[in-house]
Amino acid sequence: DAKTTQPTSMDCAEGRAANLPCNHSTISGNEYVYWYRQIHSQGPQYIIHGLKNNETNEMASLIITEDRKSSTLILPHATLRDTAVYYCIVMVPSGTYKYIFGTGTRLKVLA
Amino acid sequence: GAVVSQHPSRVICKSGTSVKIECRSLDFQATTMFWYRQFPKQSLMLMATSNEGSKATYEQGVEKDKFLINHASLTLSTLTVTSAHPEDSSFYICSARDRGGAGNQPQHFGDGTRLSIL
């Protein structure tokens, strides 16, 4: 079973920040948090990942709470092309390296 | 960035035929690749882990004789759906890990293969 829970869907106005939450309350100390998105009929696209510090790249920011039980992916200025299903995954970077996908959040960016 | 290529992107065939899907890492070597299946409006479900030079590891409930996996080189894994039937129709996606990267590096996904069995 997936170790993450996310809201089923969210809407965001174009140009505004999209904040996508993820709960991973049973995360262990060595598990990383990964975010991917999937645009219709394509493979998942990597966005960002982190362990405990906040991370930022050209696509997004990842905010991880101090207790690491939840995180938020922030798309600072959402565009229509950001409409997709966003998946939050936790994984131990050793052993099997398996990803177990949850149901994800369907983000719709509105014009 | 790292690229994973899947081929074919779409295949339609008759019931009872076998279908082979290829997953290639184009600019890195991958000792481990993963195969997923996704039904409409559902999430990705991990089917198996493909290990270069050894047998694949299948998830519970996935028939290994139905879904044959071969990982004969560091850049290629294949999934063969044997004697395919309409219920095997789905979107099949692969991912790969760069053997030369750190343990926490992300997996890279292909663009998927849409399989339709008539």
Contact A41 B104 (CB under 8 A): no
Nearest of A37, A53, A83, A18 to residue B104 by alpha carbon: A53
Q: What value does the mean pLDDT of chain A take? A: 95
Residue A3 buriedness (CB in 10 A; 0-12 / 13-18 / 19+): middle
Predicted pLDDT of residue A67: 95
Q: Do B46 and A101 touch (CB under 8 A)?
A: yes
Backbone angles phi, psi at B117, to 5 degrees: -110, 125
Of chain A, the percentage scoring pLDDT greater than 90 comes to 86
Instruction: Please tell me the distance in Å from A57's CA to the nearest CA on chain B.
Output: 14
* 8 Å CB contact of B95 and A99: yes
Residue A16: predicted pLDDT = 97
Q: Is the separation of the CB atoms in A4 and A65 below 8 Å?
A: no
Model confidence pLDDT, tens digit, residues A42-92: 999 999 999 998 999 999 999 999 999 999 999 999 999 999 999 999 998
Q: Does B92 touch chain A (CB under 8 A)?
A: no
Question: According to the 3-state scheme, what is the secondary structure of chain A?
Answer: CCCCECCCEEEEECCCCEEEEEECCCCCCCCEEEEEEECCCCCCEEEEEECCCCEECCCCEEEECCCCCEEEEEECCCCHHHCEEEEEEEECCCCCCCCCCCCCEEEEEEC
Q: Is B46 on the interface with A (CB under 8 A)?
A: yes
pLDDT for residue A2: 74
Mean pLDDT per 10-residue segment, chain B (118 residues):
90 96 94 95 95 92 95 94 97 93 89 96
| Chain B residues closer than 8 Å to A97 by CB | 32, 97, 103, 107
Alpha carbons A41 and A81: distance in angstroms, whole number:
14
Beta strands in chain B (DSSP E): 4-7, 10-13, 19-25, 32-38, 45-51, 57-58, 67-73, 76-81, 90-97, 108-109, 113-117
Mean pLDDT calculated for residue range A16-23: 98
Whether A35 contacts A62, CB under 8 Å: yes
Residue, of A96 and B56, whose pLDDT is higher:
B56
DSSP code at position B88: G
B102 — contact with chain A (CB < 8 Å)?
Answer: yes
Whether residue B66 contacts residue B81, with contact meaning beta carbons closer than 8 Å, is answered with: yes
Which among A42, A93, A97 has CB closest to B112? A42
- Is A44 near chain B, with CB under 8 Å? yes
| 8 Å CB contact of B109 and A87 | no
